[in-house]
Structure 1
Amino acid sequence: MEVDTEAGATNLTAEALKRKERLQKMRNLATGKTDGKKADENLPKPIFRSYRPKDESLMENSLEQKTAGDIEKKVEEQLELAKTPLTIEDIDISNLAPRKPDWDLKRDLSKKLEILERRTQKAIAELIRERLKENQEDIFQAVNVGSSIMPQSQEDDD
């Protein structure tokens, strides 16, 4: 079996050319070129808009309508205001008081104290209920004593 070297060489060169074309197409796609044109040429051109107002009353306020003299006057006014010393209002030192040394401890413990206060109130209520259950007959006396004390305490408040 003889291999035709000329036919094999032409076949290899044809395949190499095809591969080269495919690689070139892939490079063009990666860089954004298509058919020899750049990607920028394929995009629509941007439209630049003018933001100048069409209404003349609005144009009076625009920066373009102001003259350089007007701007210079305003800048000079601002510079003069900056030169004047600022007067700080007198602060009454007696109203300023430093924080107490334990303010941070009170802040940190306030939540825990709230929880303990609730538990204490529940415990007191439970103790009262237990005492009242022991002495059911004394309930009526306690109500009577409480009702008699209420009018006296209202008179004391007045």
Structure 2
Amino acid sequence: MEESVGRLQAEALRRKDRLKALRGKQLQNKTDGEPENKKVLEDEEEIKHRELKLRNYVPQDEVLQQRQMPQAKPASVEEKVKDQLEAAKLAPVIEEVDLANLAPRKPDWDLKRDVAKKLEKLEKRTQRAIAELIRERLQGQADSLAAAVESAKQEEDDSD
């Protein structure tokens, strides 16, 4: 028992060492493995993010005045308010009450809906089977009718 515990601990230590080695390789790949153009793109992005945008401050320096943002114009609120007022108007109250809408659905309505397609297939198969049975009966009657006619002919021939 003690031997198996020692063996398990040794395996756990080996596993930890392998994981550390893999993490080290991944970190090296992330830092060393990046292409040069990707590093250049990141530098350009950092420069773009450092760019000043002056919205509320009016600078006195000519260089900074070029970075000043134009004054924002407030959006028209009148149209939005009109739309909201129209939406808030009450819809006309329904005079007649439809009892079908008030009555609760039967507990198995969803089962019927889900099974409807399968029932359509079965209905088609049933109709085909009924038609086939009718054909077989008609053929059987035709055969028996033909046999009856032949037997009647033989009786006439025998009686002559």
TM-score range, shorter chain: 0.3 to 0.5
Highest Rg: 1 or 2? 1
Q: TM-score when scaled to structure 2?
A: 0.35
Q: TM-score when scaled to structure 1?
A: 0.35
Structure ranking higher on relative contact order (CA contacts 8 Å, 6+ apart) = 2
